[in-house]
Structure 1
Amino acid sequence: MKRPIAIISATALVAVGLLLTGCSDPSPAPSADPTTSSPAPTSTPDNGPTILAFGENMTYKDGVAITVSAPEAYTPPSYDVGATHPPYVIFTLTITNGSSENLSPLASPQVSSAGGFATQILHAGDAGGPVAYAPTDVILPGGSVTWQEAFAVNDASQLTLQVSPEPITYTAVVYTNTK
């Protein structure tokens, strides 16, 4: 009977020894001499978003691209929601997936005009109207999607539109006609 207890005790001693050995750090203690320590990492300043004129193409490193057309005058039908005050403008947005991966777009354009916010206009009439929500269906490699969004703005000659193909992966780009 004493033999199994001795085996268990020996096994427990070996396990505790291995645990204690694993806790020790074989690397030398850090040097107190500041000349031998590695330099602190430096950070680069954030220069903000890329600013482009309407109609220019923004292509990201992986080949995904977004383009926003120059704003055009828009006359909303009476059933469009958000047509609160003229002038009204409409933009054509295109996302192209030039990457090798599927792209799940989540574009949500933010528009400002003459220092104030713009009101998005949504088509509330028959299906197939000119104004729609941004698409969210997957864009396959090599594919693209185009849609239009309209806004009631303060001044059509002073517009900025900030958008990203997908805000978690891609930084936003600012399109403007006030460069």
Structure 2
Amino acid sequence: MSHPPQQPPQQPQYMGQQQFQQPQPAQPPQYKKRKKWPWIVGGLVLIAFIFGAANAQDNATPSAGSETANADAQAADKQEQQNPAPEENTQQDSSGVTRLDFGETHTWSGGEVITVSAPEEYTSSNQFTQAPEGKRYVALDVTITNKGDDEYNAMSTKLTVQHNGQVAQQNHMAGDSLPDVQLPPGGSTTFTSVYEIDEETGKLQVSVQPNVFASETVYFSGQF
């Protein structure tokens, strides 16, 4: 008995010569990320503006303390203009010696400030203390100020006077003796010393030391 021939497997059906494709699932929409840096920069600019405005207001509005300080400074300037300090001018020659004119001021390292005024003719009202023949008297005002940190006794000051190269003798019967005055820091005193010199005009020189141990001697000089 013969068997019928087997049929080959059937192929998938095509539509319009193309195989039917299964639809793909829809993709979710893509959103662009917003940039954050413009907001950050804007915030920093706003903060800087607020601080700048606050500082400008503080500077424009003076405090009571600053107004008081300005008033004190103006008062001090006015006081200094009315009572100027003695002129200080340190002039050293080639040997390192300090030479000043009368009326100038010098400050030592210890804070002693000394001024020798311009010399003036001195005439005694006492007939028994008149200058000898060929002689005359000269008066010198010496001002001492203590700008150091410790007390200072004006009696420690050492003065020597020469006129035309000769030693001038002090007239202890006229003027003031070297004062035994204790000067606290900031204290000041003035005394007058009288010396006998020749009638002939010449160079008057006064050497000054704040004490005998001072390493610096200052020379005030001028014609008299």
TM tier, smaller:
0.5 to 0.7
Equivalent residues of 1:108, 1:134 under 8 A apart: no
How many angstroms apart in 1 are the aligned matches of 2:207 and 2:128? 23
In the TM superposition, what are the counterparts of 1:2-151 in structure 2 within 5 Å?
A: 47=95, 49-78=97-126, 83-85=131-133, 86-105=135-154, 106-123=156-173, 131-151=175-195
Higher RCO, Cα 8 Å, sep 6+? 1
Q: Work out the percentage of aligned pairs sharing the same amino acid.
A: 30
Superposed displacement of residue 138, structure 1: 1.5
Equivalent residues of 1:103, 1:138 under 8 A apart: yes
Relative to structure 1, the CA distance from residue 156 to residue 72 in structure 2 (aligned partners, 3 Å threshold; closer, same or farther) is farther
Equivalent residues of 2:205, 2:219 under 8 A apart: yes
Letter in 2 for 1:94: T
TM-score by length of 2: 0.51
Secondary structure, counterpart of 1:87 in structure 2: strand
How many angstroms apart in 1 are the aligned matches of 2:117 and 2:188? 15
Relative to structure 1, the CA distance from residue 63 to residue 84 in structure 2 (aligned partners, 3 Å threshold; closer, same or farther) is same
Structure 1 or 2, whichever has the larger Rg, is 2
The equivalent residue for 2:47 is none
How many angstroms apart in 1 are the aligned matches of 2:140 and 2:202? 14
Q: Does 1:173 align with 2:222?
A: no
Q: Which runs of 5+ in 2 are unaligned?
A: 1-93
The ranges of structure 1 where at least 4 consecutive aligned residues each deviate by more than 6 angstroms after the TM superposition are: none
The equivalent residue for 1:33 is none
CA RMSD, aligned part only? Answer: 2.4
Q: Which runs of 5+ in 1 are unaligned?
A: 1-45, 124-129
Range 150-159 or range 54-63, more displaced = 150-159
Relative to structure 1, the CA distance from residue 101 to residue 157 in structure 2 (aligned partners, 3 Å threshold; closer, same or farther) is same
Letter in 2 for 1:163: V
Equivalent residues of 1:82, 1:152 under 8 A apart: no
Secondary structure, counterpart of 1:110 in structure 2: strand
Superposed displacement of residue 81, structure 1: 5.6
TM-score by length of 1: 0.62
How many angstroms apart in 2 are the aligned matches of 1:145 and 1:68? 12
